[in-house]
Amino acid sequence: KKLAVFVSGGGSNFRSIHEACINGFVHGEIAVLVTNKGDCGGAVYARENGIQVLQFPSKKGEPDGLSTSDLVTALRNAEIDFVILAGYLKLIPLQLIQAYPRSILNIHPSLLPAFGGKGYYGMKVHKAVIASGARYSGPTIHFVDEHYDTGRILAQSIVPVLATDTAEELAARVLKEEHKLYVDVTAALCEERIVWRDDGVPLIQSKE
């Protein structure tokens, strides 16, 4: 399968998925990297590894950016099967969601539906988790709809929140789990091991 990964930052999830594609754990190829920040760590890594970089959305004064229609055309031309959001901070337009039904995933660093939605990003998530007194946190991978963090939940894993945790310490513990979970889920996606329950809940079938 062919994947497009969207990033806005350092791209550590992107790198771990890329490595899993190279070593064969994921039966897929990252053909396109989409970013709203052409100089972010993820974009630099993509160029170093010969992955095509597309700028989206377009910004004033930056002629390189694509419109939504042009992005959809570019993804189709690259024969992209699935879109993987990995720390991409912009909302995904409805036109792209409709072009890739049940094919766009996002990762969020809390146990959704808690601590999600607009405003919950980066360290803010982990600070809110610590302030709430919650004893567990962890990443959620979900399908993407037209709102922030509300699409159908596909996978989660848990880490403890320690009494002495700073937001940075909790973030690091969650991020380690993100890398494992996203690689596993992307492997399942590429092997068509995702099934949809009648009530619309997606499930991952384990390997035979």
Binding interface with ligand GRF (CB under 6 A): 7, 9-14, 86-87, 107-109, 139, 175, 178
By beta-carbon proximity to ligand GRF, the closer residue of 64 and 168 is 168
Cα–Cα distance for residue pair 16/87, rounded to 1 Å: 13
Q: To the nearest whole angstrom, how small is the minimum distance from the Cβ of residue 107 to ligand GRF?
A: 4
Task: Please say which residue, 12 or 36, places its beta carbon nearer to ligand GRF.
Answer: 12
3 state DSSP class of 81: coil
Q: Considering beta carbons, is residue 72 or 105 the nearer one to ligand GRF?
A: 105
Three-state DSSP class for residue 178: helix
| Smallest distance, ligand GRF to C-beta of residue 78, A | 21
8 Å CB contact between 154 and 204: yes
Q: How far is the CB of 171 from ligand GRF (least distance, A)?
A: 7
Class of residue 127 by CB neighbours under 10 A (exposed 0-12, middle 13-18, buried 19+): middle
Tell me whether residue 47 or residue 76 sits nearer to ligand GRF (CB atom): 47
Is 108 one of the annotated active-site residues of the chain?
Answer: yes
Please check whether residue 68 is in contact with residue 93, taking contact to mean a CB–CB distance below 8 angstroms.
Answer: yes
Which one from 18, 27, 108, 126 is the annotated catalytic residue?
Answer: 108
| Closest approach of ligand GRF to the CB of residue 41, in Å | 7
Closest residue to ligand GRF, judged by C-beta, is 87
CA dist 159 and 39 (Å) reads: 32
Q: What is the phi-psi region of residue 11: left when phi exceeds 0, alpha when psi lies from -120 to 50, beta otherwise?
A: left
Which residues are catalytic, by number? 108
